[in-house]
Copies of this chain bind each other. A is one copy, B any other.
Amino acid sequence: MSEVMSGGKWFTEVCEEGGSAFSLQIRAKLHEEQTPFQKIEIYETTHFGNLMIIDGFIMLSQRDNFLYHEMIAHPVLFTHPDPKRVLIVGGGDCGTLREVLKHPGVEKVDQVEIDERVTRLAEQFFPELTEANDDPRAHLHFEDGIRWVADAAYGYYDVIIIDSTDPIGPAEGLFTQAFYSDCRRALGEGGLIVQQSESPLLHMNILKDMHHAMRGAGFLDTATLFFPQPVYPTGWWTVTMACKDNVISGFRKRDADDRPFTTRYYNAAVHRGALAAPEFFYPRIFE
């Protein structure tokens, strides 16, 4: 919804469940299209760079997407002892893919995005996110991620990253115990999944259901990581990891310290800090 405030043009996302709204000032609408799956809009903002909107919800801005993309990629990859084969479900903007490919030990990344137009528009309007797409380790598939996981060979992947929209609409099936069961089957020994898991101030019901569904699917342990994401409701966001057959205790801290690539948010201390749950959190997850 566009609003007029202070005389400028704004994009406003209303968060019904929070009784809140977040707005960014707009210079221009760069693109709008209805794909077979969803409506995509691209705006140029005054202070947050380009902005992608899907079905009225902010997906990412050039200014702050590094927080989310680094935190959905690096913690899970430094938790697995030696991730070689990675699957990204969703992730069409390719920002997560770029971070994953920074890990020299990763040998193959399958990315399965249902809507090819997300990736084509990212190439056009967020070229810095797609700059690693020509890496020979990257394999982009424009298919249904749920079917891909169901069809995957037993134990094939080391890490599955579920980088999807909210659990309404096309992404709903990615938040179910049946899907997590298929993920677990597709993971090798010590395998991990990670999924974006909404705001701890607004969506404790989703977080609770997710922890229980992952454990119900047979994952031995789950852990939520907390980080800022200004363009999402409350500015406070999470990803949740689950390990097939191990307790999630610590991570490859020395490798994280010595990582042979640059980050803007992530480092080993941030990783450890992101695992520190607010006092209210786990009692409500496991009440």
Question: A residues bordering B, Cβ < 8 Å?
Answer: 1, 3, 5-6, 10, 12, 14, 17-25, 45-48, 63-64, 201, 226, 228-230, 234-236, 262-267, 269-270, 272-280
Give Cα A21 to B11, complex, Å: 10
Decide if B18 touches A10 in the complex (CB within 8 Å). Answer: no
- In order of increasing CB-CB distance, the 3 nearest A-B pairs are A235-B235, A273-B273, A19-B47
A133 to chain B, nearest CB (A): 24
Decide if B279 touches A265 in the complex (CB within 8 Å). Answer: yes
Decide if B1 touches A5 in the complex (CB within 8 Å). Answer: yes
Give the contacting residue for A264; candidates B10, B17, B279; CB below 8 A.
B279
A46 to chain B, nearest CB (A): 4
Decide if B20 touches A48 in the complex (CB within 8 Å). Answer: yes
Number of copies: 2
- Pick 5 A–B contacts, CB within 8 A, sort by A: A228-B234, A228-B236, A265-B279, A270-B279, A272-B272
A134 to chain B, nearest CB (A): 26
Decide if B18 touches A47 in the complex (CB within 8 Å). Answer: yes
Known: A273-B274, A273-B275. A19 touches B45 (CB 8 A): yes
Decide if B5 touches A5 in the complex (CB within 8 Å). Answer: no
List of B residues within 8 angstroms of A234 by Cβ: 64, 228, 230, 235
List of B residues within 8 angstroms of A263 by Cβ: 279
Decide if B270 touches A272 in the complex (CB within 8 Å). Answer: no
Known: A273-B275, A278-B264. A21 touches B14 (CB 8 A): no
A222 to chain B, nearest CB (A): 17
Give Cα A21 to B9, complex, Å: 12
Give the contacting residue for A64; candidates B5, B25, B201, B270; CB below 8 A.
B201
Q: Which of A14, A230, A265, A270 is most buried by chain B, counting CB atoms within 10 A of its CB?
A: A230
List of B residues within 8 angstroms of A229 by Cβ: 235
Give Cα A45 to B3, complex, Å: 20
Return the chain B residue nearest A21 by Cβ: B23
A238 to chain B, nearest CB (A): 11
